[in-house]
Structure 1
Amino acid sequence: MTTFCLLQISLVLLCTTKLSTLDCNILLLPHSKMIKGNLQLLDKMGQHFPQQCQNEKMHFKFPEQFLKSRQKEDAKVEIQEILQQIFYIFTKNLTLAAWDGRSLERFLNGLNQQIEHLEACLREKMENKNIYSRTRLKLKKYFQKIDNFLKDKQYSLCSWEIIRLEVRRCLQFIDKVIRRLRN
């Protein structure tokens, strides 16, 4: 009887492990849909780019080469880092951003779900953090420039609108990477 129970428990654990692995292997499809949803929410958060902000545009150089890896696991780590950094930026001082609060909340919730799902899938891979440290450092430097820009502009309405456009570009690039990895 005890052996039979242990066998059943082992089968359940094996199936659960296999299902969670499969979930991580097909990870790209739900994330592609979530990225598209987040792009829509970014558009809903604010209206058109304000006319008074036209002269304040700033171009940040997104480190695109880091998302060109052929390895799905590397790309997942990089995507997870980008989403974490975006989440961090959007939890800053938003008092001057004239955005729809409900859309912003849904945007942050969507980012958080994606981050948690990627973290769960990558937990084992992340034990060897040295592999990803150089990539993460470059991405963090990029987002540090964004953070510094917001601080320098004292989190003004225009600075937030510029960052909203930049984050839109980041998410569009992630969507391209996900589509490329799916093929």
Structure 2
Amino acid sequence: MALLLSLLTVLVVLSCGLSGSVGCVLPQNHILLSNDSLVLLSQMQRISTWSCPNDTVDFRFPRGIINGIQVQEAQAISVLQGMLQHIFDLLLTDHASSAWNTTLLNQLRMGLSQQLKDLEPCLVQEMKEQGTALSSQGPTRAVERYFWGIFLYLKKKKYSDCAWEFVRVAIMRSLSSVITLQERLSDMD
């Protein structure tokens, strides 16, 4: 389902027909929104992972795509969009609504939605310059596999409170990497 939503997002963005210039400039509040999301996720903690020893999991975040070799700008935008979209999709489920404070969850969703909207012109521009092959490249696929693992884990654990707590921590790690990627993109300008 997450893949379908991501593909639909790309199609909507492509159908908008926005034209871009060389390079993509993210709004200045893009990093601030990610920092706000981290604060909200911190406030959403209901239980400790220490109280869930049977649910411990390492989702194996693909850090190499962000912290390793220099990612091209086009790949960075695609990875950034993919990460934000998958996080948004996770938090959009009914199960997420029952796991967390809905006020905080809705604020988090609104911030992520704004970030995805801000990325639309960048995606249109990169799709025009790079073509659709961008979405099937290694870094984007690694992000997709990572979040697919999280979806499967939640399903296996029947969306328990403990499972959601481990997912919350994983999302916080992902958002920290999103901030790193956003800073890298800002430095490319």
Residue equivalent to 2:114: 113
Q: CA deviation at 1:166?
A: 0.3
Match of 1:132 among 135, 146, 165: 135
Q: Does 1:156 align with 2:183?
A: no
Superposition CA RMSD, Å: 2.5
Equivalent position amino acid for 1:167 in 2: I
Residue equivalent to 1:77: 78
- Asked if 2 retains the 8 angstrom alpha-carbon contact of 1:79 and 1:174, the reply is yes
Residue equivalent to 1:61: 60
Residue equivalent to 2:4: none
* Cα separation, partners in 2 of 1:133 and 1:37, compared to 1, 3 Å: same
- Asked if 2 retains the 8 angstrom alpha-carbon contact of 1:50 and 1:158, the reply is yes
- Asked if 2 retains the 8 angstrom alpha-carbon contact of 1:96 and 1:156, the reply is no
Residue equivalent to 1:101: 102
- Secondary structure in 1 aligned to 2:57? coil
Residue equivalent to 2:31: 32
- Secondary structure in 2 aligned to 1:155? coil
CA distance in 1, matches of 2:21, 2:36: 25
Residue equivalent to 1:88: 89
CA distance in 1, matches of 2:155, 2:80: 25
Structure 2 unaligned blocks of 5 or more = 1-17
Identity of paired residues, percent?
29
CA distance in 2, matches of 1:23, 1:75: 12
TM-score by length of 1: 0.78
Residue equivalent to 1:6: none
Q: CA deviation at 1:103?
A: 0.6
For these two proteins, the number of residue pairs brought into alignment is: 164
- Asked if 2 retains the 8 angstrom alpha-carbon contact of 1:96 and 1:157, the reply is no
CA distance in 2, matches of 1:105, 1:95: 9
CA distance in 2, matches of 1:34, 1:165: 18
* Cα separation, partners in 2 of 1:44 and 1:22, compared to 1, 3 Å: farther
Q: CA deviation at 1:74?
A: 2.1
Task: Say which is worse superposed, 51-60 or 167-176, in terms of deviation.
Answer: 51-60
CA distance in 2, matches of 1:21, 1:106: 32
Structure 1 unaligned blocks of 5 or more = 1-16
Bigger radius of gyration among the two: 1
1:1-48 C-alpha deviation (Å, 9 max, x unpaired): xxxxxxxxxxxxxxxx99x759942x1632111110000111122245
* Cα separation, partners in 2 of 1:125 and 1:79, compared to 1, 3 Å: same
- Asked if 2 retains the 8 angstrom alpha-carbon contact of 1:46 and 1:100, the reply is no
CA distance in 2, matches of 1:83, 1:31: 11
Residue equivalent to 1:9: none
- Secondary structure in 2 aligned to 1:94? helix
TM-score by length of 2: 0.76
Q: CA deviation at 1:146?
A: 0.3
